[in-house]
A and B are shown apart, each in its own frame.
Chain A
Amino acid sequence: MSLTTSRRGFLTSAAAAGTVLFIGVNARGALAASPSAEAMLTPFVKIDETGKVFAIIKHFEMGQGPSTGLSTIIAEEVGVTMAQIGFEFAPSDPQLYNNLFFGPFQGTGGSTAIANSWQQYRTAGATARQMLVEAAAEAWAVDAGTLDIVDGQVTGAGQSAPLGAFVAAAARRTVPENPPLRDPAQWKIIGNPATRRLDSPDKVNGTAMFAMDVQLPNQMVVMIKRTPQRGGLVTSFDDSAAQEIKGFLMAQTLPTRHGVAVYAENTWAAIQAREALEVDWDMSAAESRSSQEIRDEIMTALNTEPTYNVNKADRAAVKATVDGADTVLEKTFYFPLLAHAPMEPLNCTIEQTAEGDIVLHDGAQMPTGPHMAYQQIFGLPAEKIRINTMLAGGSFGRRATPDADYQVEAALAFVMTDRARPVKLVWTREDDIRGGYYRPATGHKVRVGLDQSGKIVGWDHQVAGQSIAKGTPFEPMMVHDGIDHSTVEGIADSPYSIPGMSLGLTDTQKATSVLWWRSVGHTHTAYVMETMMDLVARAAGQDPVAFRLAHLADGTEDQARKAGVLKLAAEKANWGRAPAGHTQGIAVHKSFGSYVAEVVEISGTPEDGIVIEKVTAAVDCGIAINPDVIKAQVEGGIGYGIGHAMRDQITLDGGAVEQSNFPDYEPLRISDIKEIETHIVASTIAPTGIGEPGTPPSAPALANALAALSDGADLVAELPMAEAGVYFA
């Protein structure tokens, strides 16, 4: 998503609460250090008297690693080992725990968790260290400058004691204004490939608590029978068959009429009762189009003058140049709707406390969204609503809907009860696959003109697809001059120097709800840019790596970093020297501030079966805080990109989604990619995103490897590849 940087002045305060030291942001910007100030502080660092440090994580953990990453930053600055630090998820508070790139909004997305928190968490950790050291210096009557914290021990001036001994005294001290940050040369944990994930043990022994694992006393399970076509409304329902299901409690039409809520004693009863429910729908306003009609609309738009001239180029002149060029290359691309399908189906649980507070237990990707929605639904002030952020079993963007879709469903189901029993809303996999909020269907048409020497003289690039942000609360932030940046990101801001480029955009009608999806627009823009670069290089008779480097030669840092990962991936993959029977394809793309190049090496043929033998990746994401987590994110990003490109799509028939579960929305499987090798560029630049940037280059690198088998003749320009006749062994 488009990011507006709004770095708030970082001010710290401390409050004594027993013997716990909090270091955090004071919302009012005051340097208060009153023992009674706890209520107005929300901490990033908590230290108990045993010396155990807790990092308070303002982002959610869907596997991308911020609980480990932010804890690493705190541990490094305070001076404790990873064994001496734990983590807790922050409460929902858009002022104290806002994403600094989003404004006063708490949320995770756009691969910003580490990037926006880096200086904030460093400063919080350094503040804690300074206060502890000053407390020890006073106790020992020595100069604080002679002390440091090493592995949890305050050390120096011939003395040493566990930091826990100074927590109470530190909490009473004035907060230092500019605590010194550790010199990167001192770092022991940041950048250390041996640092392990803090969430591994609980996820390995079954004790990790996901939202789906919430089992409140006396809770009801609710499932929603939803309209099979988006926009359909409930007219009536018959629950007489559901009454026969033991454990069925009741059924009620949601106030929005988008579905019927089925209440039951447990999950299995809810599944069966919902199956038995008969619902009549009013489909007069419902979506009735098929995928073919959606595709036709996009294709028509690509051949019409675009609504938006994204880069303000003189398109007529560009078209004339291309038309008059010695060689013209033209390709039309189509990318289908895609579901996120995180392993943990959507769910959340609501309860009301004895004091009348509403508590939501949720793998909350954007807590501020449901928090604001709940103020309206329950008519309560913000402080009467609490969000307990749980581990999320994946998301890839799905848990971050601008309309807080599933949390609102749960709240509507809850307000239709007497609120005596907690309500746990559970989606099945079928609900997930059919429930909308898809990566938009998008088309591109590109015409490139080359001169006699193979040099690009014109590049006319048209994009048509469904805007994600328009009509949502995010529109003011993400849409400028009518252009939803998420549709053209990766082209409009490409580091390549491409002469004579015209970029146009046309919005098409939304057939279903659409949403960001791991790396969003980059999923299709990288595919188009990078397969076209290969086609053009081939037409120019040049090596794909050399050709790309020639368009990254203006000497800017942006181009140098992109060229750097390209060269590194090529070198590590033995580019151009694949073993006999193997074919390589390469792609490089910048997204979310990070640069990733990938070489995909395949064997076999599209008819007999393609085997993905190896993917070699090179990544530059600035300072690598947890190198092994970065490698894991690149591995996962590649799998996510390639798996969907191979065989996944969501299609509509008469407005209804045709797929329903993993058998027809087949996930990447263990045998699909034999090996991934990731190399990280050493850097002293502030960290940038890593959750998403591994995804964009993966599918085009695979497409380029496939195209190389036919010298470019058989470039797959419509996804998924399986639909284009590519069979994977």
Chain B
Amino acid sequence: MRYTLKINGETKTVDAEPGTPLLWVIRDDLKMTGTKFGCGVASCGACTVHLDREPVRSCQTYIDDIEGAEITTIEAMQDDKIGAAVQQAWMELDVVQCGYCQSGQIMSAVGLLRDTPKPTADEVDSYMWGNACRCATYQRIRAAVLRASEIMEA
């Protein structure tokens, strides 16, 4: 079946079966590989993208349920004011280790800062809880979200 998607400001047409997770449309059909496959059951957050500016797990978001929605992925974050601040903070603090979960971490962090521009450390922990990092870069993630908040304010 043909679906028309709005992704990162562009309109794309894909041929996919109903019930296909958005994750695999993005990765396999659109060949945009910044969004990662980690668990497939919405328990690690590596596949996080924005749907109408809200973070969602793309492995549990289906192609036939998102008609007309604006999809945003890591590839567009440098053009997003909050996204750019988060990316800058991530590099200042060298958050990444293996890096595989970090697209999802950043997409979640942008969602948090959009809702709550000046979060507390506890609010960061609560919001980011579902984004797993097996390298355990958590302490830097927490610090980088708080640092991004400062960058946004400046």
Contact = CB atoms under 8 A, between A and B. Distances in A.
A718 interface: no
A669 B78 contact: no
A671 B98 contact: no
A393 B98 contact: yes
A533 interface: no
B94 A213 contact: no
A63 B91 contact: no
A316 to B, nearest CB: 45
B128 A670 contact: yes
Nearest to A246: B17
Interface in A670-711: 670-673, 675-676
Contacts of A300: none
Given A429-B38, A671-B129, A342 B97 contact: no
B39 A662 contact: yes
Given A209-B33, A210-B100, A213-B33, A343 B28 contact: no
A345 B39 CA distance: 8
B77 interface: yes
B73 interface: yes
Given A267-B37, A670-B142, A671-B125, A344 B91 contact: no
Contacts of A62: 98
A71 B144 CA distance: 25
Contacts of B98: 61-63, 342-344, 391-395
B34 A345 contact: no
Contacts of A651: none
Interface string B122-150: 00111011011111111111100000000
Interface string A344-379: 110000000000000000000000000000000000
A222 to B, nearest CB: 14
Contacts of B128: 670
A635 B27 contact: no
Interface residues of A, number: 65
Interface centre among B91, B131, B136, B142 (most CB of A within 10 A): B136
Interface residues of B, number: 56
Q: Is the interface of B mostly helix, strand, loop or mixed?
A: loop
A424 B91 CA distance: 32
A429 B41 CA distance: 9
Nearest to B21: A268
Contacts of B99: 63, 199, 202-204, 208, 210, 391, 393
A284 interface: no
A429 B133 CA distance: 14
A628 interface: yes
A203 B96 contact: yes
A662 B101 contact: no
Interface of B: 17, 20-21, 24, 27-29, 31, 33-41, 43-44, 46, 73-75, 77-78, 87, 90-91, 94-103, 106, 124-126, 128-129, 131-142
Interface of A: 61-65, 196-197, 199-210, 212-213, 215, 221, 246-247, 266-268, 271, 341-345, 391-396, 428-430, 628-629, 632-633, 635-636, 638-640, 643, 661-663, 667-673, 675-676
9 contacts: A63-B97, A203-B96, A203-B102, A207-B34, A394-B135, A635-B136, A669-B129, A670-B124, A676-B139
